[in-house]
Amino acid sequence: MKRINLLNVGRILLLLTAIVMLFLIVDLLIPPEKVVAQSEDGSLPQIDTTSNVYCLSCHAEAYNPVQLPSGEILYIQVELADFADSTHDRNQIGCVQCHKDISGFPHPIKTARTLHEYQLQRDTACVECHEVQANQTKDSIHGFLLSQGEINAPTCSNCHDPHAQPYMEELTKTEHSEVCANCHNGIFQEYANSVHGEAMIKDDNQDVPGCIDCHGVHTMEDTSTAEFRNSSVYLCAGCHTNASIMDKYGLSTQVLDTYVADFHGTTVTLFEITEPGQTTNKAVCYDCHGIHNILSVNDPNKGLSVKQNMLVACQSCHPDATTNFPDTWLSHYIPDKDNYPIVYYVTLFYQILIPGVLGGMAIFVVSDAYRRLRMKFIKPKPVEVPVEGEEVIKHD
Ligand code: HEC
Ligand code: HEC
Ligand code: HEC
Ligand code: HEC
Ligand code: HEC
Ligand code: HEC
Ligand code: HEC
Ligand code: HEC
Ligand code: HEC
């Protein structure tokens, strides 16, 4: 049911008069073919009811909003200044290129019962010009949720106001993440206080990850799968092994090497290769560091360098761990003379001892085998030992 109250009808009449006036003025200001189609015989000019000027003659005004059957309110005012700034207006995309069903007033009757349903219907317009993103979104976790009838999952226009959308590159990294905050505010708040989020929001740091650097956008995946968990290690390592980024912050780039060398990492790596669909219970980066709440390891209260905090992290999987348990964790440093010297020298000792012992063994075994083989195949000439009392016959 279309719901226009009497007040609206009155205002429409008033406005129609205003429009005619407006067109007369516009007609004087801009070339007639833009808004007004001159009829063949030169009679009264006709209004081009598909022009932006026509649509905006009503929609730039603070009209009474429409109430949808669900009780939700559809505000129908389009902010002129925002629209003029949008990529769409800058690229001469007219109202009716997206609102294909509307070509004048009154408008066709709406069928949507809820705001979400309304947006979904309208968003079908996007595919015509942005096919790639539309197809990707269908396969994403948000697209999947939409197809399952999840009414809170985002449609295109929840993330891109079609009437105000600037170029994405004109938005800051923080603004990109704020789009997600509209629905994931709890996570955004956690993230805002993390080492990554703080650097982004306070310092406009471009090196730290915003939401979409870890999740992607139109190809966003379900995070609860085994594949996501197992491969998350490489997500973090993508930046944390990159010296051109990490050197600026004096952070170790050996996090992945040391992690993979460690008892936890080896297993995850093997899982990743042999059974990508199987969840590993071994620690991945975020089990120890957290996800949206990652802190500097030197944070005086919660940082992992504080042994007590490290212990708490270990205890989530090693419930019996006691105070010196974290000593088994060699941090992300490959042991050397300065970091973990004992481990370094013990390793070095073994590096010399083991090849020494094994090498010695090998030399012994080979030479022994050689000797035996020689004995077996190269039969020694019988040595003619003169027997006592026998004459030695000389052949000369
Ligand atoms: C005479 C004033 C007037 C003009 C001109 C006008 N509209 Fe509207 N429009 C309204 C009113 C009133 C409503 C709310 C009632 C309704 O939905 O019909 C509305 C609702 C809408 C809606 C939301 C509801 C829906 O049907 O989706 C859209 C979209 C819309 N108009 C687009 C346009 C476009 C595009 C143009 C230009 C081709 C246009 N309008 C021209 C008055 C106008
Ligand atoms: C790039 C495509 C696009 C263009 C261009 C566009 N619209 Fe829309 N419009 C949409 C979509 C999608 C929705 C529904 C989603 C939403 O509510 O934001 C919508 C919703 C509306 C509504 C309902 C109220 C609202 O904001 O949700 C009105 C009224 C409207 N448009 C009028 C206009 C007018 C007038 C113009 C031209 C000045 C215009 N639109 C240009 C895509 C577009
Ligand atoms: C969950 C929020 C979200 C949804 C839903 C979403 N987008 Fe995006 N979109 C973004 C963000 C954030 C970017 C910026 C990506 C970047 O900078 O790498 C973007 C970028 C874009 C771009 C610029 C080119 C590009 O790919 O970077 C287009 C075009 C686009 N989106 C269209 C769409 C369309 C069409 C839909 C619906 C089918 C849609 N988006 C759904 C958040 C969203
Ligand atoms: C009639 C064609 C058309 C339709 C329909 C359309 N757009 Fe666009 N859109 C454009 C053009 C043209 C640009 C400017 C692209 C450029 O210059 O690369 C653009 C730009 C964008 C951008 C910014 C891209 C960037 O590179 O930063 C986003 C986001 C976007 N559109 C989203 C949408 C959404 C969401 C819808 C549906 C509600 C929609 N568009 C419908 C033509 C369209
Ligand atoms: C219009 C609301 C809305 C917006 C905007 C939105 N989301 Fe979502 N998103 C949801 C809903 C609803 C779910 C499903 C319920 C849940 O897991 O919270 C979801 C699910 C997700 C999931 C999957 C959760 C899982 O269980 O694996 C991720 C990841 C996600 N969103 C990230 C983002 C990111 C990143 C952005 C910004 C680019 C964003 N969302 C923007 C509503 C939204
Ligand atoms: C450093 C990478 C990273 C950043 C940045 C990040 N996430 Fe996540 N996010 C993850 C990982 C990893 C998981 C999987 C956690 C799990 O399975 O327990 C996840 C899970 C999620 C989930 C689903 C699980 C839940 O707790 O509901 C949502 C929704 C989500 N992230 C949204 C966001 C939003 C919104 C932002 C930006 C404010 C963001 N993420 C920033 C890595 C990141
Ligand atoms: C078993 C728990 C655990 C796992 C798994 C783990 N870390 Fe750590 N990480 C720590 C602890 C504890 C510290 C603090 C080290 C210290 O000071 O001894 C740390 C320190 C760091 C630091 C700071 C390094 C510096 O130079 O100060 C970074 C960055 C880091 N980890 C990233 C990662 C990444 C990326 C992964 C996954 C590839 C990962 N961590 C896996 C426990 C872990
Ligand atoms: C887009 C690149 C990027 C990604 C992806 C990324 N980080 Fe970071 N991370 C950084 C940068 C840059 C810093 C330094 C920020 C600062 O100090 O201002 C940092 C800081 C950290 C720190 C604090 C180190 C310290 O003690 O100061 C930890 C711990 C950390 N990241 C862990 C992770 C984990 C775990 C993941 C994956 C879930 C991850 N990071 C994903 C770029 C990234
Ligand atoms: C997400 C869970 C998880 C977290 C967090 C975790 N571990 Fe483990 N860890 C495991 C699993 C699973 C094994 C393999 C146990 C087995 O094979 O019996 C393991 C094995 C080990 C081993 C090999 C000896 C053994 O008990 O089998 C050590 C040492 C170890 N972890 C130390 C640590 C330290 C130190 C921390 C904290 C900095 C930590 N772990 C955090 C899950 C975790």
**What atom of ligand 7 comes closest to residue 265's alpha carbon?**
5
> What count of other Cβ atoms lies within 10 Å of the Cβ of residue 358?
10
Q: Which ligand is nearest to the Cα of residue 51, counting in written order?
A: 1
**What atom of ligand 4 comes closest to residue 156's alpha carbon?**
35
Ligand 7 probe mutation, 230, 247, 255, 260, most atoms within 8 A of CB = 255
Position 305 scores a pLDDT of 87
Q: What percent of the chain clears pLDDT 70, i.e. is strictly above it?
A: 75
Position 26 scores a pLDDT of 41
217 lines ligand 5 (CB under 6 A): yes
> What count of other Cβ atoms lies within 10 Å of the Cβ of residue 324?
9
**What atom of ligand 4 comes closest to residue 97's alpha carbon?**
1
Ligand 6 probe mutation, 291, 293, 317, most atoms within 8 A of CB = 291
Position 378 scores a pLDDT of 75
The C-alpha atoms of residue 115 and residue 154 are separated, in whole angstroms, by: 12
Task: Give Cα separations from 21 to 26, 110, 268 (angstroms).
Answer: 9, 29, 72
181 lines ligand 5 (CB under 6 A): no
Q: Which ligand is nearest to the Cα of residue 227, counting in written order?
A: 6
Nearest alpha carbon, ligand 8 atom 6? 236
Position 1 scores a pLDDT of 39
Give the up-direction half-sphere exposure of residue 71: CA atoms within 13 A in the CB hemisphere: 0
Q: Beta 36-37 vs 66-67: how paired, if at all?
A: unpaired
Indicate whether 168 pLDDT > 70.
Answer: yes
165 lines ligand 3 (CB under 6 A): no
The C-alpha atoms of residue 70 and residue 115 are separated, in whole angstroms, by: 8
- Mean pLDDT is highest, among 110-114, 321-325, 332-336, 355-359, for 110-114
Find residue 47's DSSP bridge partners. Answer: 36
Average pLDDT, the chain: 83
Position 36 scores a pLDDT of 43
**What atom of ligand 2 comes closest to residue 156's alpha carbon?**
12
Burial environment of residue 50 by CB neighbours within 10 A (0 to 12, 13 to 18, 19 or more) = middle
257 and 311 Cβ atoms separated by less than 8 Å = no
CA 390 to chain centre: 100
3-state DSSP of the chain: CCCCCHHHHHHHHHHHHHHHHHHHHHHHHCCHHHCEECCCCCCCCEECCCCHHHHHHHHCCCCCCEECCCCCEECCCCCHHHHHHCHHHHCCCCHHHHCCCCCCCCCCCCCCCCHHHHHHHHHCCHHHCCHHHHHHHHHCHHHHHHHCCCCCCCCHHHHCCCCCCCCHHHCCHHHHHHHHHCCCHHHHHHHHCCHHHHHHHHHCCCCCCCHHHHHCCCCCCCCCCHHHHHHHHHHHHHHHCCHHHHHHHCCCCCHHHHHHHCHHHHHHHHHHHHCCCCCCCCCCHHHHHCCCCCCCCCCCCCCCCCHHHHHHHHHCCCCCCCCCHHHHCCCCCCCCCCCCHHHHHHHHHHHHHHHHHHHHHHHHHHHHHHHHHHHHHCCCCCCCCCCCCCCCCCCC
Give the model confidence (pLDDT) of 39-78 as tens digits.
455 555 678 889 999 999 999 998 899 999 999 999 999 9
171 lines ligand 1 (CB under 6 A): no
211 lines ligand 3 (CB under 6 A): no
Give the model confidence (pLDDT) of 303-351 as tens digits.
998 888 989 988 988 999 888 888 777 677 666 666 666 666 666 666 7
Task: Give Cα separations from 329 to 261, 308, 394 (angstroms).
Answer: 11, 13, 82
74 lines ligand 2 (CB under 6 A): yes
Nearest alpha carbon, ligand 7 atom 37? 285
Using the Cα atoms of residue 190, residue 196, residue 198 and residue 200 in order, give the sign of their dihedral: negative
Q: Which ligand is nearest to the Cα of residue 193, counting in written order?
A: 6
Position 35 scores a pLDDT of 41
Position 135 scores a pLDDT of 95
126 lines ligand 3 (CB under 6 A): yes
Nearest alpha carbon, ligand 6 atom 2? 214
294 and 200 Cβ atoms separated by less than 8 Å = no
**What atom of ligand 8 comes closest to residue 203's alpha carbon?**
18
162 lines ligand 4 (CB under 6 A): yes
Interval 172-197 mean pLDDT: 96
Position 325 scores a pLDDT of 83
Position 352 scores a pLDDT of 75
Task: Give Cα separations from 249 to 109, 115, 252 (angstroms).
Answer: 59, 46, 9
Per-residue b or e along 118-136, where b marks 16 or more CB atoms closer than 10 Å to that residue's CB: bbbebbebbeeeeeebbeb
Give the model confidence (pLDDT) of 83-108 as tens digits.
999 999 999 999 999 999 999 999 99
Indicate whether 138 pLDDT > 70.
Answer: yes
Q: Which of 22-31, 171-180, 254-263 has the lowest mean pLDDT?
A: 22-31
Pocket of ligand 6, beta carbon within 6 A:
177, 180, 184, 187-188, 191, 196, 209, 211, 214-215, 223-224, 232, 286, 291-292
Alpha carbon of 184 to ligand 5 centroid (Å): 7
Interval 176-199 mean pLDDT: 97
The C-alpha atoms of residue 169 and residue 349 are separated, in whole angstroms, by: 56
Position 37 scores a pLDDT of 43
Ligand 1 probe mutation, 49, 72, 76, 77, most atoms within 8 A of CB = 76
Q: Among 105, 127, 136, which Cα is nearest to 8's? A: 105
Position 290 scores a pLDDT of 94
Q: How confident is the model at residue 4 (pLDDT cuts 50, 70, 90)?
A: very low
- φ and ψ of 66, to 5 deg: -95, 140
Alpha carbon of 215 to ligand 5 centroid (Å): 10
Position 396 scores a pLDDT of 47
258 and 334 Cβ atoms separated by less than 8 Å = yes
Indicate whether 29 pLDDT > 60.
Answer: no
**Whole-model pTM?**
0.85
Top pLDDT among 39 and 230 is at 230
Give the model confidence (pLDDT) of 268-294 as tens digits.
666 666 676 677 678 899 999 999 999
CA 219 to chain centre: 9
